[in-house]
Structure formats: structure tokens, C-alpha cells
């Protein structure tokens, strides 16, 4: 199973989801083609209702602890309730440009 599918499966198994998107953003970074090292995860769940953002991210980081330690370099999280998702018009913030490795402009 590739890393993207592994992340998806672990999240589906651990959080009651209304929406999930796991995006491999490795191509935006200074890594070899085909890498699975940088991901953006968008999660919509009623379970986040009443939880502060830091707690939501801690939950996801705990679920993906092994992958964060052994398989992936970076994880951008957008954890939303259905109301928050609707208020944002069903869109999320774009990821910032990579500043690491040879892509950084000095």
C-alpha cells in the first residue's frame, strides 16, 4: 500500500468523517519524482465540534504518528467541522511554496 492510501485508511478507521482528502504535495518540494514525503490532509468531521484547532491536529498527529516518524517529512492539516467547511465555501487554503533545498531563493 502506498503512503497516501495508508494515511487515508488510518484516518477513515479512526475518525467519523464527512469528508476527507489526502493530497500528495511532494512534487512541490525538492524531492525525487514519485516521492511520498509531503502531504496535505483536509478532514471534515462532526467530531471536531467544540474542539480547538490544536486538539484536532494533535488527534490526527497521534493517529499518523508512525508515518510522521518513519515515512513522511511534512503534513499540512486542515481540520474542519461541517459548519466551518460551509462557511469557507467548500474551499481550503493553498499550501505555501517550498523554501527548502534548491527551491529557495536567497
- What's the pLDDT tens digit per position in 35-61? 777 889 999 999 999 999 999 999 999
89: left (phi over 0), alpha (psi -120 to 50) or beta: left
Whether 73 is covered by a domain: the verdict is: yes
Whether 98 is covered by a domain: the verdict is: no
Where is average pLDDT lowest: 16-20, 64-68, 84-88, 99-103?
A: 99-103
Whether 96 is covered by a domain: the verdict is: no
Q: How many domains does the chain have?
A: 1
Give pLDDT tens digits for 7-36: 999 999 999 999 999 998 877 777 777 777
Average pLDDT, stretch 59-72? 94
pTM for this entry: 0.84
Whether 106 is covered by a domain: the verdict is: no
Cβ within 8 Å of residue 44, ≥6 positions away: 17, 18, 19, 20, 80, 81, 82, 85
CATH code at 63?
3.30.300.90
Tell me which residue range forms the domain holding 36: 3-91
Distance set, CA 70 to CA 9, 16, 17 (Å)? 17, 25, 25
Other CB atoms closer than 10 Å to residue 90's CB: what's the count? 9
Cβ within 8 Å of residue 52, ≥6 positions away: none
**In this model, does residue 103 exceed pLDDT 70?**
no
Whether 100 is covered by a domain: the verdict is: no
Amino acid at each position: 500500500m502506498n503512503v497516501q492510501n495508508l494515511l487515508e485508511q488510518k484516518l477513515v478507521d479512526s475518525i467519523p468523517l464527512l469528508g476527507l482528502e489526502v493530497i500528495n504535495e511532494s512534487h512541490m518540494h525538492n524531492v525525487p519524482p514519485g516521492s511520498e514525503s509531503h502531504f496535505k490532509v483536509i478532514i471534515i468531521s462532526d467530531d471536531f465540534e467544540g474542539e480547538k484547532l490544536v486538539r484536532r491536529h494533535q488527534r490526527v498527529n497521534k493517529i499518523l504518528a508512525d508515518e510522521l516518524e518513519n515515512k513522511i517529512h511534512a503534513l499540512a492539516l486542515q481540520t474542519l467541522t461541517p459548519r466551518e467547511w460551509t462557511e469557507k465555501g467548500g474551499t481550503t487554503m493553498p499550501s505555501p511554496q517550498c523554501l527548502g533545498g534548491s527551491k529557495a531563493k536567497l
